[in-house]
């Protein structure tokens, strides 16, 4: 006879579920944090930075993004391309925001929402368009190429690293080219070790970077090395384009957690993402939701659900807010009717948000004061530093020193890939012997050389 086990009481069942849930959260925290989250090896010691965008309208020229040689390959002359009025569209419309040191702003939205255009405009790489109106201010000054090079570090979506160098060697060569001349070798080595410790790369510091052909680091470690290359010169503003693309969920979470820790070190971090998962979404301080170049929401990440609930779009239970609201504001282009309907809804949401933040200085939507706690404030808690104690500008390495460093770095990378080096040498020898045999035995008569060249 089968014995029947007694069913747990409702109170015991609730207590059991609560303990399991707390155990699961504790296990998740242990999995996602190998070191203490508060351990900062490398903080930004300069003055607090601010990035402000005021009424930005950016026009993208689609025709200019096609190179002239591709137009010739399609039998199209450059002067026969469509006029600017027909090929131009607004990539960013009426965008305003203000971010300070100690904050991490995540720009999310569907494909074509204007995330890449915004990063290109901020970093001065918007070669395929022009600013129609508005301005970008960095630390209270209008943005300029010199100011961007001084304050802003841009980590691109694709890694551009030499595969046969180790992590420590990659950072050491960059330190010789980017750090001031006043730095001694011991100071450069210490800066490299601080960056390695900050990005949690100690376990793979002596491993080759690798690529799709050379075995080396994992995708997440390689992405952190790319961040470390820019972090070496200690920038106050760090901008990253799709840092989690191509990474698994565990690696992406650890990477964004690293960026959140960097923001706590008195830095301003700006990242663009497509649709982050819920545990990554909780790491953001501020969120900018865009569609068709217009802002739909800009404010604290933990207040986004509250904002959309107040205007009649509550997030379903057990749903990821980022996924739900990105889908809500996406433009459906499967048919003309659906495109018009979804675009009209997105425009109405954008107009409603602009109306709510029109009179605010930082253009951030804030929840009611009674609903805010001291630990949910979106303002940065970083105390301003004494400007009299800031380091004075120093001279950077000259062109000759940078050239010799690049030569040594390339030689170090090439000589570690002996098969490829031998193949290139054999190709050069074979080509020289082929050309030598063609002209061997000919006299110095010009006609003889011309006959050989004609053959």
DSSP 53: E
Q: What is the C-alpha separation between 405 and 394, in angstroms, rounded?
A: 20
For residue range 304-337, list pLDDT tens digits in order: 999 999 999 999 988 899 999 999 988 888 888 8
**pLDDT tens profile 130-170:** 888 889 999 989 998 889 988 899 998 888 899 999 999 99
- Please report the beta strands in 39-111, taking only residues with DSSP state E, as ranges in sequence order: 50-61, 88-100, 104-109
Within 13 Å, how many C-alpha atoms sit on residue 224's CB side?
Answer: 28
Per-residue confidence band for 390, with pLDDT thresholds at 50, 70 and 90: very low
State the pLDDT at residue 112.
Answer: 77
Reported as a single tens digit per residue, the pLDDT across 333-361 is 888 888 899 889 988 998 898 888 877 77
Neighbours of 194 (CB within 10 A): 17
Average model confidence (pLDDT) across the chain: 79
For residue 173, pLDDT over 90 is answered with yes
pLDDT tens digits, one per residue of 178-197: 898 889 999 999 999 999 98
Q: How many helices (H) and strands (E) does the chain have?
A: 16, 10
Q: What domains appear along the chain, each with residue ranges and CATH number?
A: 97-127+135-369 (3.40.50.300)
Mean pLDDT over residues 416-427, rounded? 90
Question: Given this model, what pLDDT does residue 104 score?
Answer: 94
Report whether 163 contacts 209 (CB < 8 A).
yes
Give the span between the Cα atoms of 107 and 312, in whole angstroms.
23
Within 10 A of 368 (CB to CB), how many other CB atoms are there? Answer: 9
To the question of pTM greater than 0.85 for the whole model, the response is no
88 pLDDT tier (thresholds 50, 70, 90):
confident
Q: What is the pLDDT of residue 374?
A: 42
The pLDDT confidence band at residue 69, using thresholds 50, 70 and 90, is low
- pLDDT of 407 strictly over 90: yes
Residues 206, 330: Cα–Cα separation, whole Å: 44
Check residue 164 and give its pLDDT.
Answer: 93
pLDDT for residue 3 is more than 50: no
- Predicted local distance difference test score (pLDDT) of residue 203: 92
Q: Once rounded to an integer, what is the mean pLDDT over residues 241-253?
A: 87
The length of the chain, given as a count of residues? 455
Distance from chain centroid for Cα 254: 15
pLDDT of residue 334: 86
Evaluate if residue 219 carries a pLDDT over 70: yes
Place of tokens 């035995």: 441
**294 CB-near residues (< 8 Å, 6+ apart):** 93, 94, 95, 114, 346, 347, 350
Q: Which residue has the higher pLDDT, 213 or 387?
A: 213
The answer to whether residue 28 scores a pLDDT higher than 60 is no
Q: Is 433 or 365 the better-scoring residue by pLDDT?
A: 433
pLDDT beyond 80 at 9: no
pLDDT for the residue 12 = 47
Question: What's the average model confidence in pLDDT over 100-121?
Answer: 88
| 208, β-bridge pairs | 166
pLDDT value at residue 315: 92
Beta bridge partner(s), residue 290: 109, 295
Q: What is the pLDDT of residue 332?
A: 85
Residue with tokens 């002996």: 418
DSSP H helices, 283-391, are: 304-310, 321-329, 336-357
> Smallest Cα–Cα separation from 350: which of 337, 372, 365?
365
Q: Kindly indicate the confidence band of residue 106, based on its pLDDT and cuts at 50, 70 and 90.
A: very high
Give the pLDDT band (50/70/90) at residue 274: confident
Q: pLDDT band at residue 269, thresholds of 50, 70 and 90?
A: very high
């Amino acid at each position: 006879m089968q014995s029947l086990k007694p069913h747990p009481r409702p109170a015991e069942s609730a207590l059991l579920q609560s303990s399991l849930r707390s155990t699961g959260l504790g296990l998740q925290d242990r999995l996602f944090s190998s070191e203490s989250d508060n351990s900062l090896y490398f903080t930004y010691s300069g003055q607090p930075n601010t990035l402000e965008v005021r009424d930005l309208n950016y026009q993208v020229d689609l025709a200019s993004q096609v190179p002239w040689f591709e137009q010739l390959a399609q039998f199209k002359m450059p002067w026969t391309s469509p006029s600017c009025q027909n090929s131009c569209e607004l990539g960013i419309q009426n965008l305003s925001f203000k971010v300070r040191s100690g904050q991490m702003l995540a720009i999310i939205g569907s494909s074509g929402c204007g995330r890449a255009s915004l990063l290109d405009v901020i970093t001065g790489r918007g070669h395929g368009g022009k600013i129609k109106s508005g301005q970008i201010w960095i630390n209270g000054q209008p943005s300029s190429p010199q100011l961007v090079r001084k304050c802003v570090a841009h980590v691109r979506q694709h890694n551009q690293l030499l595969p046969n160098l180790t992590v420590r060697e990659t950072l050491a060569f960059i330190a010789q080219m980017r750090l001031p001349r006043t730095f001694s070798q011991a100071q450069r080595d210490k800066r490299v070790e601080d960056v390695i410790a900050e990005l949690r790369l100690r376990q793979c510091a002596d491993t080759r970077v690798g690529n799709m052909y050379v075995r080396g680091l994992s995708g997440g470690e390689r992405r952190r090395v790319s961040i470390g290359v820019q972090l070496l010169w200690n920038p106050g503003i760090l901008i990253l384009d799709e840092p989690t693309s191509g990474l698994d969920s565990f690696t992406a979470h650890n990477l964004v957690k690293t960026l959140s820790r960097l923001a706590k070190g008195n830095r301003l971090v700006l990242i663009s993402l497509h649709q982050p998962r819920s545990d990554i979404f909780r790491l953001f301080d501020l969120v900018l939701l865009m569609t068709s170049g217009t802002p739909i929401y800009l404010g604290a990440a933990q207040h986004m659900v509250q904002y959309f609930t107040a205007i009649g779009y509550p997030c379903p239970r057990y749903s990821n807010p980022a996924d739900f609201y990105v889908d809500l504001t996406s433009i459906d282009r499967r048919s003309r009717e659906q495109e018009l309907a979804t675009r009209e809804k997105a425009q109405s949401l954008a107009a409603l948000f602009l109306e709510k933040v029109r009179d605010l200085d930082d253009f951030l939507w804030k929840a009611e004061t009674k609903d805010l706690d001291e630990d949910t404030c979106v303002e940065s808690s970083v105390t301003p530093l004494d400007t009299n104690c800031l380091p004075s500008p120093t001279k950077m390495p000259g062109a000759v020193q940078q050239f010799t460093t690049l030569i040594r770095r390339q030689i170090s990378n090439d000589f570690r890939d002996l098969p490829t080096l031998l193949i290139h040498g054999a190709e050069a020898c074979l080509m020289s012997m082929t050309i030598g045999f063609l002209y061997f035995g000919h006299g110095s008569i010009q006609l003889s050389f011309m006959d050989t060249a004609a053959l």
